[in-house]
């Protein structure tokens, strides 16, 4: 039996429900249930399962670890939303807005502990390595979030620094997900290394496509109003590349004023297109995806079982419409 | 060799220094160093070491776990201070005040992960049990903090609920410290159980003495102005007992107004003394301490090596001057 992405995601939904229903609806646990129910693509936990089955015919052995990484990811969302003062998450009110900041801090803390409880739930031969990897990558996610926050008050952020930030904030956890599946299945260090690298490249490609779609996506396909990053002067890849190309005069104009938000978004997108940054970012995402596939090809494992993972990478790139 | 409390505390100070110096002074890690340098009695980590040596002649084997519990404890302080809007911690500016709330959230998150890293640092035979205990008690600490916060907006908190709150918020981590030392030394489940119970009772005694000293301690010995809890209408054991005894008329007077803060503190302390609540709380703390000693006596282990732990319990009770 080979799990498809959809089957993996269905398992996760089922396990998530059982998970949050096992806690009482107290002020500490209720917000956790709320956030987990809002949804999400469950991509990270699905990757744990899809990676694990490359080396194993018992995919259920990775279910708890898959759940752990989803709970951890949602913990980071709960705390990031406080720090970013975000009113909405996936179109729903964020936890700190719906409850309050103290609740979002404390329920987030509880979620991180729950993630470790899930990691410990099914003892495996390589548990020590599993938790050490998780610890290291979890800490790197914090370092990435710190970098992201520090960028807000800086105006000398380089494109390289931005790529390092998204690597830490987003990509390392994707790599962690793929390597965790491999660790649980007792795959070779070489395969583990390739799967981790595959995940990092996927994470980078994903984040760059996110940046691209926020500016150039079709609102109907993307599912939200585009141009948000531009209006918020967010230091994305697109913005930083534009800054690095623009003349002094253009840089001044970039700061505005603009007569309407639409004019701002339109003008800046026009400049980005003029410098071909829209094409460049897609090419870079494509390059990361290719590299992800190469790492996947280098992994020992059934080719047939690699198909769902290849499919995930392809989906990443063809989200744009 | 038997470690004394002071020797154990010295080890911890040394290990803490090495720990925080191993991280760069970035905006994420610098606040962690700041908080850990402010000090504290290092009682929890010392208890890990003192418990461990009951069953072992190699106390260094518990150093990383001791450090882990101190780092975790300080993580809870960093986040609690945000939630309580506390300006000071041990006479120094709190992290969220000195830096900002976002930093205190994120550096606190990083500390929790670091605690797990420390726990994994020296593999031991019972590591699975060690981490499961830590997870469970860490989650209980969150439940305790949630209860504590919920008490602020309630006026029907019972004495029993208060005792359950301090058990979760404070005492379980003391029990955890003692049991962790025993787990690492591979002590019997029976001894582990007694040491955990000993710690819980110690933690309860400690918190009650804290409540007592905040109202009735000698400011010079306690090292801070007394009466703070009374002025803040904090629902301590003393306050809740007073509420449960007072007549309707007295309850009304308890709400004030008072002409000066001194009058408020003086009047309420007088009522507490009138109902002998000051004596009762000391008697209750004494009872918990006795019970702690009984559990310690029931533990298999060298009597001589129990002395430092007995000394800790005695210190707890005779902090008042």
Q: Give the list of residues 6+ apart from residue B226 with CB closer than 8 angstroms, or none.
A: B213, B214, B215, B216, B217, B218, B219, B265
Q: Check if B117 contacts A (Cβ < 8 Å).
A: yes
Is the Cβ of A283 closer than 8 Å to some Cβ of chain B?
no
Give the C-alpha separation, A29 to A22, whole Å: 10
CATH number belonging to domain A5-317: 1.10.600.10
CB contact under 8 A, A142 and B106: yes
Average pLDDT over residues B139-148: 98
Contact B115/A at CB under 8 A: no
* Prediction ipTM score: 0.96
Subunit contact B120:A132, Cβ cutoff 8 A: yes
Residue-wise pLDDT for A100-112, tens only, equals: 999 999 999 999 9
Closest Cα in chain B to A116: B135
**Digit-coded pLDDT (tens) for A9-57:** 999 999 999 999 999 999 999 999 999 999 889 999 999 999 999 999 9
- Per DSSP, what are the bridge partners of residue B92? B89
Average pLDDT over residues B151-170: 96
Residue whose structure tokens are 């309580």: B84
Distances (CA, A) of B75 to A28, A88, A118: 18, 28, 21
* pLDDT interval class at A315 (50, 70, 90): confident
What is the band of B319 on the pLDDT scale with cuts at 50, 70, 90? low
- Average pLDDT of the residues in B88-115: 96
Query: Quick one: average pLDDT of B253-257?
Result: 85
Cross-chain Cβ contact A150/B114 below 8 Å:
no
pLDDT beyond 50 at B75: yes
Q: What is the mean pLDDT of chain B?
A: 94
Residue of B nearest to A101 (CA): B83
Q: Which residues of A271-295 are buried (b: 16+ CB within 10 A; e: fewer)?
A: bbeebebbebbbebbeebbebbbeb
* Confidence (pLDDT) at A321: 38
**Residue A196 Cα, gap to closest chain B Cα (Å):** 20
Give contacts of B149 with chain A, Cβ < 8 Å.
102, 106
Query: Choosing among B106, B140, B144, which should be mutated to test the A contact, i.e. which has the most A CBs within 10 A?
Result: B106
Residue B76 confidence class, pLDDT cut points 50, 70, 90 = very high
In contact, A167 and A144? CB cutoff 8 Å = yes
Question: In chain B, what residues touch A123 (CB-CB under 8 Å)?
Answer: 128
A142 touches chain B (CB under 8 A): yes
pLDDT at position A33: 98
Residue numbers in A near B136 (CB within 8 A)? 117
Using an 8 Å Cβ cutoff, are A119 and A134 in contact? Answer: yes
User: Per the CB < 8 Å rule, is B139 touching A79?
Assistant: no
Q: How far is CA A188 from the centre of its chain?
A: 26
Spatial separation of the C-alpha atoms in residues B208 and B213, rounded to whole Å: 9
pLDDT tens for B20-73 read: 999 999 999 999 999 999 988 999 999 999 999 999 999 999 999 999 999 999
Q: Between A105, A113, A128, which is nearest B79 by CB?
A: A105
User: What digits encode the pLDDT tens for the residues B57-70?
Assistant: 999 999 999 999 99
Residue with the larger pLDDT of the pair A257 and A302: A257
Pairing of strands B88-89, B92-93: antiparallel
Residues 6+ apart with CB under 8 A from A185: A51, A52, A53, A54, A55, A56, A61, A62
CA distance to A35, B218, B274, per residue, from A179 (Å): 26, 58, 66
Q: Which chain B residues contact residue A112 at CB under 8 A?
A: 109, 112-113
pLDDT (tens digit, 9 = 90+) per residue, A254-301? 888 999 999 999 999 999 999 999 999 999 999 999 999 999 999 988
The pTM assigned to this predicted structure is 0.96
**Which residue would you say has higher pLDDT here, A314 or A184?**
A184
CA distance A64 to chain B (A): 15
Judged by CB atoms closer than 8 Å, whether chains meet at B79 and A109 is answered as yes
Q: Is the dihedral of CA B214, B99, B144, A137 positive or negative?
A: negative
Measured CA to CA, the distance from residue A191 to residue A241 in angstroms comes to: 35
On whether any CB of chain B is under 8 Å from the CB of A126, the answer is: no
Q: Is A243 on the interface with B (CB under 8 A)?
A: no
Q: Confirm or reject contact between A30 and chain B (CB < 8 A).
A: no
Q: How confident is the model at residue B321 (pLDDT cuts 50, 70, 90)?
A: very low
């Amino acid at each position: 039996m080979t799990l498809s992405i959809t089957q993996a995601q269905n398992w996760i939904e089922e396990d998530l429900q059982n998970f949050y229903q096992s806690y009482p609806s107290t002020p500490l646990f209720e917000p956790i249930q709320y956030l987990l129910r809002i949804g999400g693509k469950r991509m990270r936990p699905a990757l744990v399962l899809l990676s694990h089955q490359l080396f194993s015919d018992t995919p259920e052995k990775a279910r708890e670890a898959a759940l752990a990484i989803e709970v951890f990811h949602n913990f980071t969302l709960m705390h990031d939303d406080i720090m970013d003062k975000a009113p909405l998450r996936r179109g729903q009110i964020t936890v700190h807005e719906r409850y309050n900041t103290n609740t979002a801090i404390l329920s987030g803390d509880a979620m991180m502990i729950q993630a470790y409880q899930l990691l410990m739930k099914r003892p495996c031969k390589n548990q020590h390595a599993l938790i050490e990897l998780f610890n290291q990558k979890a800490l790197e996610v914090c370092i990435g979030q710190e970098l992201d926050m520090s960028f807000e008050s800086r105006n000398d952020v380089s494109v390289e620094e931005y790529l390092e930030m998204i690597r830490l904030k987003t990509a390392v956890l994707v790599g962690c997900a793929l390597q965790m599946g491999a660790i649980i299945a007792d795959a070779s260090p070489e395969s583990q290394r390739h799967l981790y690298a595959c995940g990092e490249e996927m994470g980078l490609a994903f984040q760059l496509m996110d940046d691209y779609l926020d500016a150039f996506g079709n609102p109907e396909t993307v599912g939200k109003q585009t141009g948000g990053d531009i209006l918020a002067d967010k230091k994305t890849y697109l913005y930083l590349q534009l800054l690095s190309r623009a003349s002094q005069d253009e840089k001044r104009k970039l700061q505005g004023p603009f007569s309407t938000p639409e004019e701002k978004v339109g003008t800046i997108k026009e400049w980005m297109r003029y410098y071909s940054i829209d094409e460049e970012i897609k090419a870079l995402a494509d390059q990361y995806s290719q590299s992800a596939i190469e790492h996947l090809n280098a992994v020992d494992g059934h080719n047939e079982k690699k198909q769902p993972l290849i499919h995930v990478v392809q989906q990443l790139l063809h989200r744009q419409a």
